[in-house]
Amino acid sequence: MRASQYYLATLKEAPQEAELPSHKLMLRAGLIRKLGSGLYSWMPLGLRVLRKVETIVREEMNRAGALEFVAPPIQPAELWKETGRWDLYGPLMLRIRDRAEREFCYAPTAEEVVCDIVRREIKSYRQLPVNFYQVQTKFRDEIRPRFGVMRAREFTMKDAYSFDADYAGLQKSYRAMYEAYVRIFTRLGLEFRAVAADTGEIGGTGSHEFQVIAGSGEDAIAFAPDSDYAANVELAEALAPKAPRGGATQAMRKVATPGQHTCEDVCAFLGLPLEKTVKSIVVMHEEEGKPAEMVMLLVRGDHMLNEVKTSKVPGLKPFRFATDAEIRERLRATPGSLGPVGHDVKIVADRTVAAMSDFVVGANEDGHHLTGVNFGRDLPEPVVADIRNVVAGDPSPDGRGKLDIARGIEVGHVFQLRTAYTSKMGVTYIDDKGETKPMEMGCYGIGVTRVVAAAIEQNHDDKGIIWPDPMSPFTVAIVPLGFHKSDAVRDAAEKAYAAFSAAGLEPFLDDRNERPGVLLADQELIGIPHRIVIGERGLKEGVVEYQHRRDTQATRVALDQAVAHVRSRLDPAHSPRAA
Ligand code: ATP
Ligand code: MG
């Protein structure tokens, strides 16, 4: 491709609203343009990158035996009512009416539609297993679309759905998808981890998220550097402390702590470590047909409540946080002064708290705290549960070393749905004994558009993007200095262009009539990893300058060796054969 026949849409500045480097760089490099909140057009350069990701995804899905199909993104409400998700999805689902006032949605995902196809098409165990996938636009009316295509409203997802006769079959299909995902993200050149994930409401048993490691990621991942344990923080278990609870050594005392509200402030004021304090959080457990029950949750001052784990504690599911009014009325205390002593509400203590003695809590009275508090003496023994987020340094749940915390961007998700959908939608088959059974289903998503943003989060510097080879819109940038002034430069550039094209290495010849500074800055912004600069001075000695986008210096290379040199610098790790 030649710049003179292309459209480069680079910008000096990114719009104010762009916060993340990937969002800024995608706009500045002219990969995308905003159409509306969470809606983006892919410009020619960006689309080339997106297509490369899609190609690798398709190759690996096909290799794993999945079959590509495509379903309409606009889907009738009736299907979604069969599984109850028409109501469950809430405002995240974009709803549409046609001229006859029939209801539709713009698909946020496609389990229902695929179930509908399979229940009509597949009848016998002989036709199983099957796995259908598509690369299709999805719409989710996210509350806070942000970070460009990272969390958009309209985005491209590769979604696959497997159907098996039994659970053993599902596990095999799941494993095949898991391995295909490992190959996909490896071939894309990304640093990633597969982490065990929460299965939420669906009621499946197995689920993994594929997380691209990046400081700006929205998800926290707990992993053990000494083993292959990795889990979303929502799921990672915080083990009970090994040491048993110490005996009480202090009397309970009420102390004045004027103006000190947070645990940090109170500790600084009392000269105690944060690990001696306990936070009290009041929630309401609400079951249909029963009055709401108030429950007080206790976590250590420096720990964070984990809502996903909390919602799994028997007697707490489902729960919501108590309102200030409920707290004032039932506990006769201001929400800022709360503590567990002296109430008759049920108390659920985190495992760490349950092993504490002589601790500090709120005194249910503004400006006061209780010190030297002990279970069994000052308040009843609590219900004990794992309700906090793990922190760095906690023991790994697999017993091997300590946990570390990293941030990640969820680019893929694999999920064993079991028969949650198939039984509701009558997706059955006849087994070899003539019996009718629901199929075992799995679903597998990759946020294809998000992958592009995630790759930039991981691969950029202050000048611009640095594409991993497999995702780069072009393989090599040829930058002639004086293309329009010097015959020698133009001839050499054309020769190099022809040689790279013949070698199948996708050259981008920047033949624009611009100052060298502009050409070089644009190329750094766009981030094609390999660059050949051709100037008159070098040509006198028969050389051009090669520089990888990550190199700090250029290397002089003979003009006729340029192709061989770039080949030698291509990253071998990401070729399909190596994966
Ligand atoms: P998230 O937790 O980020 O909201 P999710 O768990 O709801 O995502 P899934 O239903 O698992 O998403 O969808 C499969 C994949 O689609 C995700 O792993 C992610 O890569 C991508 N994805 C989901 N929502 C968006 C979005 N709003 N914009 C871009 N990609 C998305
Ligand atoms: Mg997910």
pLDDT at 257 over 50: yes
Whole-number pLDDT of residue 398? 87
Residue at token pair 């550097």: 225
Instruction: Name the residue with higher pLDDT: 99 or 288.
Output: 99
Ligand 1 atom 27, closest CA: 151
Whole-number pLDDT of residue 266? 86
pLDDT at 578 over 50: no
Ligand 1 atom 23, closest CA: 447
pLDDT at 234 over 80: yes
Q: Which amino acid is at 429?
A: Y
In a 3-state reduction of DSSP, which class is residue 108? coil
> Residue 223's closest CA among 205, 211, 240?
211
168/171 Cα distance (integer angstroms): 5
In tens, the pLDDT along 316-339 reads 888 999 999 999 999 998 888 899
Ligand 1 atom 26, closest CA: 151
In a 3-state reduction of DSSP, which class is residue 376? coil
Q: How confident is the model at residue 419 (pLDDT cuts 50, 70, 90)?
A: very high
> Do the Cβ atoms of 489 and 535 come closer than 8 Å?
yes
Share of the chain above pLDDT 90, in %: 85
CB neighbour list of residue 163: distance below 8 Å, 6 or more residues apart: 118, 122, 128, 129, 130, 131, 422, 427, 439, 440, 441
Q: Which amino acid is at 211?
A: Q
Of ligand 1's listed atoms, the one at least distance from the Cα of 159 is 14
CA of 449, nearest ligand number: 1
> Do the Cβ atoms of 212 and 457 come closer than 8 Å?
yes
Q: For residue 291, how many other CB atoms are within 10 A of its CB?
A: 7
Q: How confident is the model at residue 575 (pLDDT cuts 50, 70, 90)?
A: low
- With the most atoms of ligand 1 within 8 angstroms of its CB, the residue from 37, 136, 450, 451 to mutate is 450
Whole-number pLDDT of residue 409? 96
CA of 413 to the centre of ligand 2 (A): 5
> Residue 111's closest CA among 80, 90, 140?
80
290/80 Cα distance (integer angstroms): 29
Ligand 1 atom 22, closest CA: 447
- With the most atoms of ligand 1 within 8 angstroms of its CB, the residue from 144, 147, 157, 158 to mutate is 157
18/411 Cα distance (integer angstroms): 20
CA of 413 to the centre of ligand 1 (A): 8
Share of the chain above pLDDT 70, in %: 98
Ligand 1 atom 24, closest CA: 151
CA of 304 to the centre of ligand 1 (A): 25
pLDDT at 577 over 90: no
CA of 415 to the centre of ligand 2 (A): 9
Mean pLDDT to the nearest integer, 120-132 = 97
In tens, the pLDDT along 33-87 reads 999 999 999 999 999 999 999 999 999 999 999 999 999 999 999 999 999 999 9
Q: 476: which 2 tokens?
A: 């090599």
In tens, the pLDDT along 435-483 reads 999 999 999 999 999 999 999 999 999 999 999 999 999 999 999 999 9
Instruction: Name the residue with higher pLDDT: 199 or 12.
Output: 12
- Provide the H-helix boundaries in 332-465: 351-354, 420-425, 448-458
Whole-number pLDDT of residue 136? 97
CB neighbour list of residue 517: distance below 8 Å, 6 or more residues apart: none
> Do the Cβ atoms of 61 and 180 come closer than 8 Å?
yes
Whole-number pLDDT of residue 197? 83
- What is the SS3 assignment for 36-47? ECCEEEECHHHH
CA of 153, nearest ligand number: 1
Taking each helix axis from N to C terminus, what angle separates 448-458 and 44-63, rounded to the nearest 10 degrees?
110
Of ligand 1's listed atoms, the one at least distance from the Cα of 445 is 14
Whole-number pLDDT of residue 200? 59
Q: Give ligand 1 pocket residues (Cβ under 6 A).
A: 109, 140, 142, 151-152, 155, 157, 410-413, 445, 447, 449-450
- With the most atoms of ligand 1 within 8 angstroms of its CB, the residue from 54, 181, 410, 449 to mutate is 410
Ligand 1 atom 21, closest CA: 447
**In whole numbers, what is the pLDDT of the chain averaged over residues?**
93
Burial of 541 (C-beta count, 10 Å sphere; 0-12/13-18/19+): exposed
DSSP string, 460-506: EETTEE---GGG-SSSEEEEETTTTT-HHHHHHHHHHHHHHHHTT--
In tens, the pLDDT along 165-224 reads 999 999 999 999 999 999 999 999 999 999 988 765 544 458 999 999 999 998 899 999
Q: How confident is the model at residue 314 (pLDDT cuts 50, 70, 90)?
A: confident
Ligand 1 atom 8, closest CA: 410
Q: For residue 401, how many other CB atoms are within 10 A of its CB?
A: 13
